[in-house]
Amino acid sequence: MFITFEGIEGVGKTTHLKWMATALTDVGIPVLVTREPGGTPMGEEIRDILLVHRHERVAPLTELLLMFAARAQHVDTVIRPALAADRWVLCDRFVDATYAYQGGGRGVPEGLIRELESLVLGSFRPDHTILFDTPVEIGLQRVKERNNGHDRFEQEKMDFFERVRMEYLRIARLDPERYEIIDATKPLVEVQQSLSRIMTEILEKHGVH
């Protein structure tokens, strides 16, 4: 299975992903945890280029192409080989993030993103996507409380993240078979209960006992 975790800043994706990875490992399923942009040595270098603060304006198309460059390397050298080896892959963000951030946030035309998606991924898509949703002001407040410095994306204004969130919700509602939306404002134990339910449904759906 290829399962992706999505959401704006401050929804707790990394924490929830690690929780599910542990839960799957505990029932004997080999798991690979990875992230985007990144996931490979080259991808992590591209991630640094994308996230670092710079005085130079980054054109939306430049950002988009770098995202897909990192993704092409990631899918070819990490994700597909892991799946071929019967490992479950849990990924912190994937192509949906591109539609949300570069499409919804930056205003890159959806058709252009779709062209690159087809070029890089073909018909390859996640089996399941879990979208953690929270109002933007709550997510950004959590980021502020972390106080570990803000990358180039985290410095964007609230209206940018409002567009990102709305695009995430729009695309999730278009394909309820693949997407699960979890209210990330709830206490951690309730979010993990929702994750446990989703994991059980996935295991049962695919005949894993």
The domains found in the chain, sorted by start residue, are 2-205 (3.40.50.300)
Q: What is the DSSP letter of 10?
A: T
How does pLDDT run across 101-116, given as a tens digit for each residue? 999 999 999 999 999 9
Residue 82 burial (CB count, 10 A) = 17
Closest CA to 131 of 105, 170, 102: 170
Residue 64 identity (one-letter amino acid) = L
Contact (CB, 8 A) for 143 and 9: yes
User: Which percentage of the chain shows pLDDT scores above 70?
Assistant: 95
* Long-range contacts formed by 43-46: CB under 8 A, 24+ apart: 43/70, 43/71, 43/73, 43/74, 46/70
Closest CA to 153 of 91, 186, 105, 201: 105
Residues of the chain falling short of pLDDT 70:
147-155, 208-209
How does pLDDT run across 22-53, given as a tens digit for each residue? 999 999 999 999 999 999 999 999 999 998 88
pTM for this model (two decimals): 0.92
What pLDDT sits at residue 154?
62
Rounded Cα gap, residues 199 and 86, in angstroms: 17
Contact (CB, 8 A) for 105 and 161: yes
